[in-house]
Amino acid sequence: MNQRILVWDLPTRICHWMLALSFAGAFVTCESERLCNIHMLCGYTVLGLILFRLVWGFVGTRYARFSEFVRSPAFVIRYLAQLFRGRAKYPPGHNPAGAVVILLLLLLGIASSVSGWAVYEEIGGDWLEELHDYASYSMLAMVFVHIAGVLVTSYLHGENLIGAMITGRKRGNANQAISGNKSAIAMLLLTVLIGCLFWAWPE
């Protein structure tokens, strides 16, 4: 377990940090009429990145796949109990509890960006604006839970998980490493997505 092995492919890492940036951008511009275009662009980028991440969860590399990190509630509770007793196994990919927050972030991101788009297009009424606010603030709360979870599990597992999301590398056995980034597939997917989003950009 002393080797540094590649677990997060490059598309997953770029997607993650762009998601963090565009979410922050959407939040700091949400109250300003002057920055409304930037707010929309950031929200739209959040939507594009999450759509990319959802597809990547099926076609991406091993630890980016949903099948690798979505677990039953009983499994998650067992993991948390073991973690606080200092007996949890260190997973090469996402830990089962962090994965729950990740799924919530993706769902709330979809709800927030799609409702924002619908508000701008004037589809629906006041309830859509309320949904947009509710989803966005819930997502902000989840981001804090996410960051706190990352810091706690970094401490308990004795590895800097933020550094791992930058370099893609964690400690593990050679046979657990992914063999590449699947960058060509990611580029193809991104081109299709950007085309679709460009087409659907509000007038």
What are 83's strand-pairing partners? none
Considering the complex, what minimum distance in angstroms separates the CB of residue 71 from ligand HEM? Answer: 13
- Please, which contacts does 25-29 make with residues 24 or more away whose CB atoms are closer than 8 Å? 26/136, 27/136, 27/140
Which positions from 65 through 94 interact with ligand HEM, judged by CB under 6 A? 94
Instruction: Give the integer Cα–Cα distance in Å for 25 and 39.
Output: 7
Question: Which of 48, 96, 98, 168: binder of ligand HEM (CB under 6 A)?
Answer: 98
Q: Answer yes or no whether residue 51 interacts with ligand HEM by CB under 6 A.
A: no
Instruction: Report if residue 100 touches ligand HEM, rule: CB under 6 A.
Output: no
Residue 189 contacts ligand HEM per CB under 6 A: no
What is the size of the binding site for ligand HEM (CB under 6 A)? 22
User: Could you count the other beta carbons within 10 Å of the beta carbon of residue 26?
Assistant: 24
39 binds ligand HEM (CB under 6 A): no
Residue 137: its H or E element: helix 126-157
Handedness of CA 112, 53, 162, 85 (dihedral sign): positive
Residue 83 CB partners (closer than 8 Å, separation 6+): 95, 97, 153, 156
172 binds ligand HEM (CB under 6 A): no
Q: Does 132 help bind ligand HEM (rule: CB under 6 A)? A: no
From 6, 26, 42, 106, residue interacting with ligand HEM (rule: CB under 6 A): 106
CB 106 within 8 A of CB 53: yes
Q: Is there binding between residue 16 and ligand HEM (CB under 6 A)?
A: yes
Residues within the interface to ligand HEM (CB under 6 A): 12, 15-16, 19-20, 23, 53, 64, 94-95, 98, 102, 105-106, 109, 143, 146-147, 150, 161-162, 165
